[in-house]
Every structure is written in C-alpha cells, then in structure tokens.
Structure 1
Amino acid sequence: MRTVEREHYLHLKNAQVIPTTGLRATHDNMKDVLQVKGMMCLYGAAGVGKTLSTNASLRELAPGATVRVQFRSRPAPSDIRTLLFEQLHIDGRLPSLAAERDNLLKKALAEQFRAVVLDEAQWMTTECFEYCRHLWDDDKTDIAIIFVGGGDCYRVLRREPMLSSRVFIWQEMKPLTHDEVVTYIPAYHPVWSNAEPDDITFVDTHAAHGNLRAWAKITAHTLIGLIRAETDVPNRDILQWVFSRLGGSYD
C-alpha cells in the first residue's frame, strides 16, 4: 500500500492529497520552523487534516529526518523517552535510569537534524511539556518540535508559559471553505470527478461540512453504493442512502 494511501482515513484507495489553504499554510509554516529549528503548534478540530498535512509537508521538507511520536492516552515523560528511544532506533536496551536514557536521547538527537512531531499533543501534561523543552533547550540537540493536536491543544499549550513563549508559529487548521470544497473535492477522489457540482455542495452542506475525515467516510460509503447500484456516478438516491448510514438527521 502506498504511503499516501495509508495516511488517508480508512486507507481510502485512490484518494489524493489536495492543496487546500490549510495544507499550503502548513507546508510554508513548517519550512520556516525547520529553517530556524524552532517549535510549532498545529491545532484544530478532529478530521480537518492536521496529521495528513503534517505528513505531506514533512515528506517533502524533512525526508528521512522526521521522528513521529503519537499518544493514545495521557502520557508521562517516561512514555516520551521510550517512544523516542524506539523511533530513533537507538541500539541496546533502554536504560533503567532516566538520566542515562536522556543522555542517549540527546546524543542521538545531536547526530543529525530531526523534526520531532508530537501528535495528539493535547494529552500531554506539564511534565511532558517541560521534558520537551528540556530536550529542545539543550545546546547539543539539533531538533525542531512540532506539536499537533485537537482544538484543546492551543489552550493546553498556552497554559505552559515556559514552553508557549518558545513556540515560533501557531497555526489553526480549519475545515474546507465552500469554494475549496467545490474546487478540490472533484480532484480528491475519482468518484467525485464526474459528480454534479450541486451534488457535491449537497453532500458538504448536509453531511461533510468541510471536514476531510467526513469526506473520506462519505466517499467510502459512496463507492459501496455505486457498486450495489451498478452505476459510476453518485446521484441523490445513493447519497441519501449514504446519509442513512452516518447516523443523525440529514434533510
């Protein structure tokens, strides 16, 4: 499976990375952050394309130099140490003493430049943020740090003055605008390339609301509907059937 395909929600086959305003801003901001080896916070609601934009940008800007750490629940500094140790492929066993682990991590982070991405950063505690600052502040480490998180990420990081004062760029990722939906969704997936513009607007107004993850889900259901209806182009009947699978009320 291609890298880009894996990065789309539901591993949606044939989905494309589209140059939305948010993605272009992410690319430009990350380019500047990497140049100064600074910190960045990319935040926004679920499903608006934060992780996809981050991956697409760093695939071009820092190939082979990106270290990704993702949290599924509230981490402790020891979790960050362990995940970084694994992602950096440091030889040998993880030392039992935190100080020894830190020395190895700093040594690895000094060998070459790294873009360290901390995904779902809204879960991080004050101790975790302080640990990140400790690594970044070290004279020998050669890193930029990119915090990526949900809508609460901005508020959580702003509560940490020692860290937030060091953030070089704050970027809020927003849903697609109406004009972006009309322009980019036909290029996002072949299923929409021949769809009526009114049908694309209908989908966005009633179900997707500019959310890329919602568009991925709707696209996957639409592909199933097209197979069952033995047709190639979605129509209102198929779209209403898709809506019936999403839950909620869609008039």
Structure 2
Amino acid sequence: MLGRAGGSVAVLHRHLKATAGQGPPVPSLATLYRVVHRDLDAGRALTERDVDTRARARMERALTDLALAARDEDTTAETARPVPVGRAVSAVAMAVPSAVAGQPGRPVGRPGAVAGVALPAGAAVVRTEAVGAVAQAVGLAVAGQGIACVYGDTGRGKTVALRAAAAGLPAGFEAAWVMTPVRPSLAELRRALFAALGLAGRFPQRSAQADTLIVEALAEPWVLVVDEAQRMPLPCLQYLQGLFDDLGTRVTLVLCGAGTERVVARLPQLASRVSAWQEVPRLPASQVPETMADFHPLWRTVPAKDLRWIDAACARGSFRTWSALTTHLQNVLLTAPDAATDRTLLHRLFQRVGPPL
C-alpha cells in the first residue's frame, strides 16, 4: 500500500483512516513514520511494484492515441504564385469568402475543428511542433496518471495546444476544464470542480459534502485541465494536490499558464509530482512562412521574406498576435477589395494589434 502511495507515509495514513471501518484502530502518523524509518534502517525496501511494464504500455498507447494527425498530402492543390507586399491583392480578398464557403483551395486542416478555440474566419489550427510536444506531455501524464505543467509567455498558443490534445484523449478518458476566477477561494474552486465534472444537483452547502462528491466522481479516469493556474493561491494548489494524492481518485492534472512553472516551484511537494514539464516556445522565424500559409489563406500569396518581416516587426512569434493581425487584414480586404497590402497599411494594422513599444 505504501508503494501504491508513491512512498508517501501521509497519503498512506489518510487511506488507512478512510478505509478503517470497524477494524482495528489506525496507528498515529508519527507511529507510521517511526515504523517506516525503522524498517528502512533495517534494510527493507518497498515492495517492487509490477506497474513499470503496464505504465510503459499505457504511455505508448496514450501517446499513439494523442498523436495529432499529419497534414493531408494527397489532396494538396497548387499553391498560388507569391505576390510581393506593395501590390494590389484583390485575389486574396476573394480567397477569404471562398475558403469559408468551402470552395476548392489548398487544404489546411479543418477550420474551427478544435472545440473551445476561436479563430478568424477561414483559419485552421496548425499542427506545429509545439502542439505535438504539448500532446506528448499530456500523453505522458495520462499514461502515468501524473501531473503535466504547460507554460510559456502569453500568446504562444498554450491553450490551443491543450484543446487539441484534449480532443484526442484515448477512449475512457475525459477532460474537464476547471474555470475559476482570479485568485479563487477554496469554496470557489470546489464549485468550479463541481461544475467541470458535471455533477448533478445543487452544490452542497458543506465543504465536506462537496469534497465527498468530487472524490467519488474522480474515481473514474479524468483529466483536470486548470488554465491560468498561475492565478491560483497556494491553498487551492494544495487542494488540487490533495485530490491527486487521494488513493480513491484516478485523476491526471494539467496545470497551464504563463508563469505556472514558477508558482508550482513554490510548492516542492507539488513540483515533485510533476511528471512532464513542457514549455511552449515562440514560433521560430524559420517556420513562420509555412505555418502562416497553413493558418489562413490570406498569407499564402505573401512571399516568405515579407512574412518574416511581419513577424519581426509585429508578431514576434506570437500566435495570438498573428490571429489578431489576420482578422484586421481580413476586414480591410473584405471592405476594400482593391486595397494595396503594402507596408503602410501593415504598419497601420500593427498599431491596432498592440501599443507602440
């Protein structure tokens, strides 16, 4: 039992108290610690757990199921000839409604296919290396029933990557997105968990009753995704750790947000349980042309050197900035199809996307 508890005497003690029933009294926590130390000093080791092989098999199966589909290559159409920035691009303005209407064009995936992801009209979620790395990290956590920490600066696409990974969870696993206010109280966190797990009935008035219902629901395999986890106070993170440590739960915990790694590091007990740390980096400049061409039809007729200039001057590898810039440029070209997409127009759109630096 101590081996199943990961070697944690405190978790073992809580489990013994919860399952004692009418049996013999449970020894105190201090007594358990003393017995364990005595046995370890005498040379006794934890019973070898026969979970390594099963864990590796679960990990391989989870990673296989979470592997994101590659781009379709057998239906690739001829790419439009690049048009340098500075010339009229009425053809690009015409391409946007065509893509939305489902007319033939270069396939870039399924626009808006990932639930919970808002994209400009005609855009698609791009399966970048970062998206695949996040899916792999979630797969490792699911396979080992552990904790994953996904972090990186704002706007890099962490939430989108997690949404894509959650959409491909293996059969038998379900993702619950825990939505909480900034710096929630424990009561607000319990209520958010109650709603995320879809528990029926009214939220209990007593915290003990709510905890019982939450733990009972987590007896089934769940992947709890806590976005913006860096805004959580330490007591809430400790509460989530308690749910994870409970021997009656089968929960995989995914903590995501800019700065989450620093908040988790402030709790060594929680940080030691993280089985996968995954940073979402900025989009490399070398990958900008291909990625943006797959992201939206607007960028397919723009030469690679101009796309790299846009990224260096404005987006700086941020998917959120590229998405906002796409929306602004799309609106301009739909309202004025003969507008020239030159650097003057782009500089004006840069000012709409963000404040001057």
- After TM superposition, the score normalised by the length of structure 1 is 0.91
What is the identity, as a one-letter code, of the residue corresponding to 1:220?
T
Query: What is the match of residue 226 of structure 1?
Result: 333
Name stretches of at least 5 consecutive residues in structure 2 with no aligned partner: 1-110
Identify if the C-alpha distance between structure 1 residues 56 and 241 changes in structure 2 by more than 3 Å, giving closer, same or farther.
Answer: same
Cα separation, 2, equivalents of 1:116 and 1:6? 16
2:94 aligned residue: none
Name which of structure 1's ranges 234-243 and 114-123 shifts more when overlaid on structure 2: 234-243
Structure 2 matches for 1:118-129, cutoff 5 A? Answer: 118-129=226-237
Q: Secondary structure at the match of 2:136?
A: helix
Opposite residue 141 of structure 2, the aligned amino acid is: V
Structure with larger Rg: 2
The answer on 1:138 being equivalent to 2:246 is yes
What is the distance in 1 between the residues matched to 2:120 and 2:354?
Answer: 21
1:7 to 117, 134, 137: 117
Q: 1:21 aligns with which of 124, 129, 134?
A: 129
Q: Distance in 2 between matches of 1:198 and 1:235?
A: 14
CA shift for structure 1 position 233? 8.0
CA distance in 1, matches of 2:180, 2:281: 22
CA contact (8 A) 2:112 2:123 kept: no
Between the aligned residues of both structures, percent identity stands at 30
Distance in 1, Cα, partners of 2:128 & 2:112:
21
Match of 1:203 among 305, 310, 322: 310
Aligned to 2:260: 153
Corresponding residue for 1:97? 206
Other-structure match for 1:51: 159
The amino acid of 2:290's aligned partner reads: T
For residues 110-121 of structure 1, what are the structure 2 equivalents within 5 Å? 110=219, 112-121=220-229
Bigger mean CA deviation after superposition, 215-224 or 235-244? 235-244
Q: How many residues align?
A: 246
Matched-pair contact (CA < 8 Å) for 2:126–2:294: yes
Q: Kindly tell me: are residues 70 and 232 of structure 1, through their superposed partners in 2, closer, same or farther at Cα, counting changes over 3 Å?
A: farther
Aligned residues of 1:5 and 1:12 also touching (Cα < 8 A):
no
Against the structure 1 CA distance between its residues 232 and 33, is the aligned structure 2 distance closer, same or farther, given a 3 Å change threshold? farther
Give TM-score scaled by structure 2 length: 0.65
In structure 1, stretches of 5+ residues that fail to align are none
3-state SS of the aligned residue for 1:245? helix
Higher strand share: 1
Question: Which residue does 2:138 correspond to in 1?
Answer: 30
Q: Which secondary structure does the structure 1 equivalent of 2:353 belong to?
A: coil
Equivalent AA in structure 1 for residue 240 of structure 2: C
User: What's the counterpart of residue 218 of structure 2?
Assistant: 109
Name which of structure 1's ranges 161-170 and 221-230 shifts more when overlaid on structure 2.
221-230
Contact preservation (8 Å) 1:120, 1:148: yes
Contact in 2 for aligned 1:40/1:168 (Cα 8 Å): yes
**Which residue of structure 1 aligns with residue 174 of structure 2?**
65
Change (3 A) 1:175 1:102: same
Name the CA shift for 1:2/1:36 in 2 (closer, same or farther; >3 Å): same
Equivalent residues in 2 for 1:160-239, closer than 5 Å = 160-231=267-338, 234-239=341-346
CA distance in 1, matches of 2:340, 2:177: 39
* Structure 1 residue 6: Cα displacement: 4.8
Q: Alpha-carbon deviation of 1:232?
A: 8.5
Secondary structure, counterpart of 2:237 in structure 1: helix
117-126 or 195-204, larger mean C-alpha shift? 195-204
Choose between structure 1 and 2: higher helix proportion: 1
Displacement, 1:244?
A: 3.5
User: Which is further off, 11-20 or 100-109?
Assistant: 11-20
The residue number in structure 1 matching 2:86 is none
